[in-house]
Structure 1
Amino acid sequence: MESGPLLSLAIPVVGSSSSSSEAKTIVTGGLDGSIKSFDITTSMVQSIGSHGSGNTNACSCLATMSNDDDSSSSNLVVSGSWNRQLCVWDLRQNSNSNSNNNNNNNTPAAEAVLPGKAFAMDVDVSRNRIMVATSGRRNCFFDLRMLKEKNKFQLDSVLERESSLKFQTRCVKFFPNGYGFCLGSIEGRVGVEFLDALINDAPMKLTKYAFKCHRDSNGLVYPVNAIDFHPTHRHTFATGGCDGTVVLWDGKNKKKLTSTPKFPTSISALCFSPDGTELAIASSYTHEEGDREQHPQDELYIRPILDSEATPKKVEK
């Protein structure tokens, strides 16, 4: 696939009504600002759009979502850039692109200006809500709204506030119910915040908190690169850091559940399987110590997750 170095990746969800429930397309965001889709089965590359040429326009984060009530499949790609731009791309509008089409002049279905560089992003598909963490420690929330004109959308800014963490955000993840979110920073710390100001049916007003993690016995601090929630134990989430470990946490009772042995290098990404019995873990040096002539090779691990490891422990009152 002809493009610059890749910075971000997303996999569109395939609905059960599709002829195959397996995802066959990968969406990538490049250092050159390009957004492209890659068909795994045919090796066909399609241009979705671009944030502009040059490293300052790099596509730093991606997510997929759907705004079609009749479809459980992803038909929209959301991209954030270092040029402070947030864009929504309609895959149906770009379906006529072909493998030889490197035209990056496709028009976004909706766009908005961010207060800083986009560093991390997640979507709450149940509410068509997008969260973007930017430079300057800002957390921005947008609701995606379909307009009366067919296939036209609008991004409404519904909330912007300062992060509870004092250093740059590396990753963000909505709670499964959308009532709040977790974010990880370069300081080896995770913040847990709530969105009661945006959600009318939230059960009660909850207090945000933060905790230290991914630090060694000598006090060396490692960035937190990835967060994902368990699909069935909804208060359990996993974090991966530059210390090469993965830790499972009970967010409700604020307890550590289990941790893995150290992997060869940094944990750059992780994701639970749909039933929560497996955790995909990407071990890849993330240049937290600058360029190295030699570093462990990039590897992908699939780790079984026992129910006893992910189940929150009962807390004695």
Structure 2
Amino acid sequence: MATDLQLPPYIDSVSSLAFHPTNPNLLVGGSWDRNVYLHDLTSPSNVRKVAVRGSVLDVAWAPESSTKVFVGGLAKEVRSVDFETNESQLIATHDEPVKCVEFSSELNAVISASWDSTVRISPLTTPGTSLILPVADKVYSLALSKSKVVVAMGGRQVWIYDIAALKEALEQGTEGKDVVVWQKRESSLKFMTRAVKAMPTDQGYTTTSIEGRVAVEFFDPSPEAQAKKYAFKCHRQVIEGVDTVYPVQGLAFNPVHGTFATGGGDCTVSIWDPLAKKRLRQFPKYPSPISALEFNCDGTKLAVAFSEQDEGGVAGEKNGNGVIIRECGDEVKPKAKA
């Protein structure tokens, strides 16, 4: 029987979650209340928090640290924040709010993406410098795999950069406008992209939209690989005879089993097997619309953030903001083929 652990409530919407890359019990959360929260699941009632300028839209762990994270948000800047010292350091600035922050170990750099239609790569070895990549539109979501950076933008555009090429550009001092985009694609989904995450296998990525759909895509441009891509409907309910559609805000891959979770404005979370094209499980409703999802590093826990102000939520579902940790069992494992 799976057990759920509810963390202390947040006072405002939870925008983002990030589990530590190697410690399965450390979770950081970003909130619209302008705080970053550090949860140790071995002592869940003891929560550390650090205030920053502006609401937090995304968080990512700094390398080889259990107390330092990178934060981006409405302050139009990326900062490192240390829960041990309460100190923060400026990493990069943008002209508009920073929607996405990731750390690339391959580049030893912070990658940030903004509504200013740029992606900035800021190496930790040379503070204050960034490779600025101009992109086609506002960035809504960003995903990293071992070899690729996937940028999901307005206008249903998805650009994919090759990390090896970015590394070469950093080493040679190439200007961002001269960096070649590995692939430029249009989303398979007809409506605005909400989230993108890369497969742990580095074979492709998954996107979600505001209109209750998910697409599974593959990097390999060959016709054989592209023939495998597909999309499907989810997070819909028939209410009084009307098919009601919800945005799919939460998206996370299990790093061990390769399955993925989606969370929607309908307050539900589902687990999917991308290769078998099947739903493995739908969990009972959460208190409010799902705003973020994240699996821990060993795939045994799923953090589910719910936020009552999240757009497209179920009418009347205003039951607070918070994070529930779900222990994962067989429901996140692909079904064995008969």
Report how far residue 148 of structure 1 moved. 8.5
Matches of residues 180-259 of structure 1 in structure 2 within 5 Å? 180-197=204-221, 206-218=227-239, 219-234=243-258, 236-259=259-282
Q: Is the 8 A contact 1:231 1:272 kept in 2?
A: yes
Deviations 1:96-140 (A, max 9, x none): xxxxxxxxxx331x111111100000011x21x211100000000
Deviations 1:278-313 (A, max 9, x none): 1111112353159x9x9432211110011x212222
- Rounded to whole Å, the distance in 2 between the matches of 1:33 and 1:25 is 20
Residue 135 of structure 2 is aligned to residue 135 of structure 1: no
1:310 alignment counterpart? 332
What secondary structure does 1:156 align onto?
A: coil
Residue 100 of structure 2 is aligned to residue 58 of structure 1: no
1:3 alignment counterpart? 53
Residue 144 of structure 2 is aligned to residue 123 of structure 1: yes
Deviations 1:41-61 (A, max 9, x none): 111111112102xxxx11111
Report how far residue 150 of structure 1 moved. 5.3
Matches of residues 1-317 of structure 1 in structure 2 within 5 Å? 1-14=51-64, 23-52=66-95, 57-67=96-106, 75-94=108-127, 106-108=128-130, 110-124=131-145, 126-127=146-147, 129-144=148-163, 145-147=166-168, 152=173, 155-197=179-221, 206-218=227-239, 219-234=243-258, 236-289=259-312, 295-306=318-329, 308-315=330-337
Report how far residue 89 of structure 1 moved. 0.9
Q: Larger relative contact order (C-alpha < 8 A, sep ≥ 6)?
A: 2
- Rounded to whole Å, the distance in 2 between the matches of 1:148 and 1:251 is 34
What secondary structure does 2:244 align onto?
A: coil
What secondary structure does 2:150 align onto?
A: strand
What secondary structure does 2:188 align onto?
A: coil
Report how far residue 232 of structure 1 moved. 1.8
Q: Is the 8 A contact 2:265 2:312 kept in 1?
A: no
Output the aligned Cα RMSD. 2.5
TM-score (norm 2): 0.76
Aligned structure 1 segments of 4 or more residues deviating by more than 3 angstroms: 147-156, 202-206
TM-score (norm 1): 0.81
One-letter identity of the residue aligned with 1:93: T
Q: Is the 8 A contact 1:60 1:120 kept in 2?
A: yes
Report how far residue 314 of structure 1 moved. 3.7
Report how far residue 93 of structure 1 moved. 2.4
- Rounded to whole Å, the distance in 1 between the matches of 2:197 and 2:320 is 27
Q: Is the 8 A contact 2:79 2:88 kept in 1?
A: yes
> What is the total number of aligned residue pairs between the two structures?
279
Structure 2, unaligned runs of 5 or more: 1-50
Question: Which has a greater percent of helix?
Answer: 2
C-alpha spacing 1:310/1:152, structure 2 compared with 1 (3 Å) = same
- Rounded to whole Å, the distance in 2 between the matches of 1:252 and 1:299 is 32
C-alpha spacing 1:156/1:115, structure 2 compared with 1 (3 Å) = same
Q: Is the 8 A contact 2:112 2:119 kept in 1?
A: yes
Q: Is the 8 A contact 1:268 1:285 kept in 2?
A: no
- Rounded to whole Å, the distance in 2 between the matches of 1:149 and 1:132 is 19
C-alpha spacing 1:40/1:203, structure 2 compared with 1 (3 Å) = farther
Deviations 1:13-33 (A, max 9, x none): 42xxxxxxx532121112131
Q: Is the 8 A contact 1:12 1:65 kept in 2?
A: no
One-letter identity of the residue aligned with 1:76: A
Deviations 1:76-102 (A, max 9, x none): 1111111111100122323xxxxxxxx
What secondary structure does 2:331 align onto?
A: helix
Question: Which has a greater percent of strand?
Answer: 2
- Rounded to whole Å, the distance in 1 between the matches of 2:169 and 2:193 is 36
Q: Is the 8 A contact 1:268 1:286 kept in 2?
A: no
Q: Is the 8 A contact 1:225 1:267 kept in 2?
A: yes
- Rounded to whole Å, the distance in 1 between the matches of 2:97 and 2:292 is 19
Query: How many percent of aligned residue pairs carry the same amino acid?
Result: 36
Deviations 1:171-201 (A, max 9, x none): 0011112211100000010001111128xxx
